[in-house]
Amino acid sequence: MPIVPARLEHSAEGVPYSSAFDDIYHASDGGLGQARHVFLAGNGLPRRWQGREHFVVLETGFGLGLNFLATWAAWREDPSRCTRLHFVSCELHPFTREDLACLQARWPELGALAAQLQAQWPALTPGVHRLHLDEGRVMLTLYLGDARDGLAQLVARADAFYLDGFAPAKNPELWSPRIFHLLAGLAAPGATLATWSVAGEVRNGLRHAGFELEKVPGFASKRQMLRGRLVHGRGQLERSAGAPEAARHALVIGAGLAGCSIAERLAERGWTVELIERATGPASGASGNLAGVLRPLPSLDDNRMSRLTRAGTLHGWAHIARLRARGVHVRAEACGVLHLARDGAQEAKMRAVAERLAMPEAHLRYLTAGEAADLAGCAVAAGGWWFADSGWVQPPSLCAANLAAAGPRLRTLFGQAVSRLERHADLWQAMDAAGRCIAAAPVAILAAGVGVRELIGAERLPVVSARGQVSLLPADAASPPRVVVCRGGYVSPEIDGLRCAGATFDVNDEDPALHAADHAENLARLEAMLPGFTRALGTVPLQGRVGFRPASPDRLPMVGALPQVGVTHANEGLAGLARQPGLHVLSGYGARGLVWSALAAEALASALSGEPLPLERELWDALDPGRFLLRPARQGAIRE
């Protein structure tokens, strides 16, 4: 369902108002005072987060973001605050960035925090968005869509609930028994709740869901409010309850996009990380290309691939922006990506997809061939999709940036080849061919590309090697195309006097040498995209690069705890798979390493640290490496 933004409206008294619900966004006596009295004090904050590693607040309606800003401000002012604050919220009708800035200007004392929030405000697309604020110490996980769907899909353990939204009489769906039971399922032991509503149906519904309640004095003219507690929480982190703080030490094997990304994410959370790589530096394998594409892949039914590539793209560009804000250099440009149709039938379908999804135009819109040619600066074969907020990234620079951002908690061990993994005394030991222990830690993460097959065996993880050859074409500065163009393959703008064109995708071809036939295939794709373009290349010998990418049978990555082969509990699905203690994997990225790497690393780091996840449960399950034990891979299913 497309996200419909809220309208900027005010009541006769000047209070932010919604004509769709015929209700105001906060008490007329003052929104900030209500946030502090009802939601913070009602949940015993800041006292309850003091001395904690992290604390999770879950809110049912984000609205103006005032409760979030008030909580963030109180956290900053508390010298005994928890190390990391997580704030999780749902919103069906979010405001645009411009309207949010206008509304939040009413509270100048929160101006600096509001500016940070507005700077990272996401594209208004359905699903989970994660914002990293206050140098990563405050995380806002925002579900855009119906709270009934969002709360069912969130993976979190909440310590405090803010029940906020339009009045039960105006928006009964947000105060329904289903909502209250979903909240109970997300509660950590001892979780508290607070709300300004004392309506009978609210009290009855919460009690039936297992909350103990009491009425206490309300804010300003409102005589009473409600607060409560759920003693026995059952938060949804079954497969990823997190490592004990004392055990936050990990081996990461492989220094490509996957390994460098998870190293940075864990280091920011205070983990000690030892990164082991057989080559003499990072990005020596499939992550070593001059440029790759970071963009989504929409579909008419907004399927899992569509949702995951959208989430991965948005998260990936946000991650690059955060690295740059920290002064770390990444070579990347959101110049826009054109995805051209292969024929008239597909062009009609692409137009229908854009109309049905109704995404913000900065994220996705349909262009005619003429409009696409104007943007590209040259002739194109057809119309198609335009992703204005996407573009190209140089993978080696992103790997280097992640390692630089990881800081002193990361130790790199280059030129060290791991021959096998052994587990002794609750530690995973990375052993070389001579039987020497390179490093050991309670947690091991396999991010070695196709090399994971040598360490764990194909029976546990059906990773195959997909050979990809990119052709490097000579290019003049500012020559067209000025944007990335895709159609079966891709071509980049000029970068350092070259442009990338490719790439082939050949399963189980282990030849590292450049193939003339693959150059010809890449040029044929390029000519089909941009008619007449290859004539200017003449007969100049082409440069290129070959990489071997780990691919999975269903084209989705494999992220999470490795299962033990043959140890299952019937009819329990993924939850019934026994797992290797402390052993995790990041693999199966295929040709979409840039799309998956930042989001997958954030998800795994969150799971290992016992934090809310940055994507929906359904999508997290879709990445679980144990899925292939429940539905064996079909032969020949790997494709791009």
For 355-369, the pLDDT digits (tens) are: 999 999 999 999 999
121 and 31 co-located in one domain = yes
Is residue 212 assigned to a domain? yes
Is residue 34 assigned to a domain? yes
519 and 623 co-located in one domain = no
pLDDT of residue 197 exceeding 90: yes
pLDDT of residue 637 exceeding 50: no
> Are the beta carbons of 73 and 40 closer than 8 angstroms?
no
Q: Which domain holds residue 531?
A: 464-478+504-551
What three-state secondary structure class fits 396?
Answer: helix
Q: How many residues does the chain have?
A: 640
Residue type for 153, please? Answer: Q
pLDDT of residue 234 exceeding 80: no
Block residue for tokens 């140098």: 135
CA atoms within 13 A on the CB side of 500: 26
pLDDT (mean) for 385-409: 97
- Joined together, the tokens standing for residue 482 give 């000025």
Q: Residue 573 has what pLDDT? A: 84
The string of pLDDT tens digits covering residues 139-160 is 999 999 999 999 999 999 999 9
Is residue 411 assigned to a domain? yes
The string of pLDDT tens digits covering residues 578-618 is 899 999 999 999 999 999 999 999 999 999 999 999 999 99
207 and 99 co-located in one domain = yes
The string of pLDDT tens digits covering residues 72-116 is 999 999 999 999 999 999 999 999 999 999 999 999 999 999 999
Q: Which residues contact 254 (CB under 8 A, 6 or more apart)?
A: 276, 277, 446, 447, 448, 449, 451, 452
218 and 123 co-located in one domain = yes
Q: Which of 432-441, 491-500, 532-541, 613-622 has the lowest mean pLDDT?
A: 532-541
One-character DSSP codes across 461-494: ---EEEEEEEEEEE--TTPSP-SEEESSSEE---
Reported as a pLDDT band with limits 50, 70 and 90, residue 461 is confident
Q: Residue 540 has what pLDDT? A: 74
Is residue 352 assigned to a domain? no
Reported as a pLDDT band with limits 50, 70 and 90, residue 566 is low
CA angle 201, 207, 34 (to 5 degrees): 65
Percentage of residues in the chain with pLDDT exceeding 70?
Answer: 95
59 and 144 co-located in one domain = yes
pLDDT of residue 242 exceeding 90: no
CA atoms within 13 A on the CB side of 527: 11
The string of pLDDT tens digits covering residues 24-80 is 998 888 899 999 999 999 999 999 999 999 999 999 999 999 999 999 999 999 999
pLDDT of residue 126 exceeding 60: yes
**E-strand stretches of 258-327:** 272-277, 292-294
pLDDT of residue 639 exceeding 60: no
pLDDT (mean) for 420-449: 95
Reported as a pLDDT band with limits 50, 70 and 90, residue 478 is confident
Reported as a pLDDT band with limits 50, 70 and 90, residue 211 is very high
Is residue 388 assigned to a domain? no
pLDDT of residue 199 exceeding 70: yes
> Are the beta carbons of 32 and 107 closer than 8 angstroms?
yes
455 and 469 co-located in one domain = no
pTM over 0.85: yes
Is residue 172 assigned to a domain? yes
189 and 214 co-located in one domain = yes
CATH number reported for the structural domain that contains residue 271 in this entry: 3.50.50.60
CATH number reported for the structural domain that contains residue 40 in this entry: 3.40.50.150
Q: Residue 338 has what pLDDT? A: 98
Is residue 491 assigned to a domain? no
Is residue 380 assigned to a domain? no
Strand 249-253, strand 443-446: pairing: parallel
Q: Residue 141 and residue 139: Cα distance in Å, rounded? A: 6
Reported as a pLDDT band with limits 50, 70 and 90, residue 1 is confident
262 and 138 co-located in one domain = no
Residue type for 344, please? Answer: G
190 and 249 co-located in one domain = no
Number of domains in the chain: 3
pLDDT of residue 238 exceeding 50: no
74 and 110 co-located in one domain = yes
The string of pLDDT tens digits covering residues 152-181 is 999 999 999 999 999 999 999 999 999 999
Reported as a pLDDT band with limits 50, 70 and 90, residue 634 is very low
Q: Residue 618 and residue 57: Cα distance in Å, rounded? A: 22
pLDDT of residue 241 exceeding 90: no
Q: Residue 43 and residue 488: Cα distance in Å, rounded? A: 54
Q: Residue 244 has what pLDDT? A: 65
118 and 56 co-located in one domain = yes
pLDDT of residue 456 exceeding 50: yes
74 and 143 co-located in one domain = yes
- Give the residue among 626, 617, 637 at the shortest CA–CA distance from 304: 617
pLDDT of residue 236 exceeding 70: no
pLDDT of residue 638 exceeding 50: no
Phi first, then psi, for residue 480 (nearest 5°) are: -75, 155
